[in-house]
A and B are shown apart, each in its own frame.
Chain A
Amino acid sequence: MGREPKHVQPPIHNRLQVLRAERGLSRQQLSDAVGVNYQTIGYLERGDYSPSLDLAFRLAEFFDLPIEAIFARTPFAPMSRATSSPLPEERP
């Protein structure tokens, strides 16, 4: 048996689409803000492309969130079941 190739990377999941929708941004607006082509944003959202560390930092800075809130090795739970970032309580 040969050695496993070192260049095969596991997929990186992200919640870019949710964050973009939440802020009412188009792909073009987000891509302009982080300096990539808008197709790249689409490929990121579809999981066809994993970003470089630099692009991940730029996205995190833009959304003002830690990187691990946007990207993860495991799929994100749906927002309705998410416990890590609960919605703020409604105040009377």
Chain B
Amino acid sequence: MARRRDPTSRTSRRRWTACYALLLVLLVASIVDDRFAVGGADDERMPLILIVAVPVVFGMLRRGTRRLTALDHPDLDERDIEARDSAYRIAFPLLVLVMIAALALLALSLPQAVPGPRHGWFLESQALIGIGLWMALWAVYLPTGALAWREPDALESETQHGGLPEPLRDALLGLALAGAIALSLLAESNTGFLPFVAALTLLGALGRRAAGQPMMSRQRKWRLAIGIVMILVLLAIGLAAGAGGENGDGERETSGKRSGQVQPGG
């Protein structure tokens, strides 16, 4: 059964399919290009907003397609299985293209191998892990994306369940996402993360109110409050650690590690 805020129209699903692909492009851009990166050290390059937005948008797509791409879904009927198989068939050649792109990016962004202190040669680069993760995200996304793109509009009875109108919900969420990404990239920091989380919470509350559901139970409010406090504490710790690391490693960073160039050691 589709839930209240799932993207049920094909138009909406296509919007979020394109949005997810754009997020992945931005994610890999932040790995290989300093202009899209934030922070000062190699492990702080990816904007936090992208790391959060990717699962949010992917979750919307999965719910919008009723998780049909799950291989072991027990409730699939013949039409669902046909749609799922077709999605996998479309996703496979697209994944090959992504693999070719990933190989090209690896060739561009990998540093030279350096001899280890005792034996062997090493590649020291976060880009290697980042591009591997990027490829895995595409592999998980492509079948769902193909399904979301092709599935017809959901039935009327599914869409008449209150909540914010779909175009308005999409516009508000898209605006919050675009604003938060722009803020993070312009400020070259994770400034956009908290406003995005706040916008998500507000949209959820608005959707519940529009659907005539209770705003939030007391237990849920407490859980949310504890979650926000934990995020803030983690952010504070991260910022403090980052500031400390910057002071200590400032000289090393300026020597070229930020741009992925590893200096050969002796």
Contact = CB atoms under 8 A, between A and B. Distances in A.
Interface string B124-154: 0000000000000000000000000000101
Q: How large is the interface on A (under 10, 10 to 19, 20 to 34, 35 or more residues)?
A: 10 to 19
B80 interface: yes
A29 to B, nearest CB: 13
Contact of A49 (B66, B75, B79, B158): B79
Contact of B158 (A36, A39, A52): A39
Contact of B79 (A27, A36, A46, A54): A36
Contacts of B154: 39
Interface in A45-83: 46, 48-49, 51-52, 54-55
A36 B78 contact: yes
B72 interface: no
Interface in B29-88: 66, 75, 77-80
B155 A52 contact: no
B219 interface: no
Contact of A27 (B66, B78, B80, B157): B157
B77 A42 contact: no
Contacts of A38: 155
A51 B79 CA distance: 8
20 contacts: A27-B155, A27-B157, A35-B77, A36-B77, A36-B79, A37-B75, A37-B79, A38-B155, A39-B66, A39-B79, A39-B154, A40-B77, A40-B78, A40-B79, A42-B155, A48-B152, A49-B79, A51-B78, A54-B78, A55-B78
Interface residues of B, number: 11
Given A37-B77, A37-B80, A39-B154, 20 more contacts: A27-B155, A35-B77, A36-B78, A36-B79, A37-B75, A37-B79, A38-B155, A39-B66, A39-B79, A39-B155, A39-B158, A40-B77, A40-B78, A40-B80, A42-B155, A43-B79, A43-B152, A46-B152, A48-B152, A54-B78
Identify the 7 closest CB pairs spanning chains A and B, nearest first. A42-B155, A36-B77, A40-B79, A48-B152, A37-B77, A49-B79, A52-B78
A37, A38, A39, A48, most chain B CB atoms within 10 A: A39
Contacts of A36: 77-79
A51 B82 CA distance: 11
A29 B79 CA distance: 18
A43 B79 CA distance: 9
A53 to B, nearest CB: 10
Which interface residue of B79, B155, B158 has the most chain A CB atoms within 10 A? B79
Nearest to A36: B77
Contacts of A55: 78
Nearest to B1: A38
Interface in A1-44: 27, 35-40, 42-43
Contacts of A49: 79
Contacts of B158: 39
A35 B78 CA distance: 10
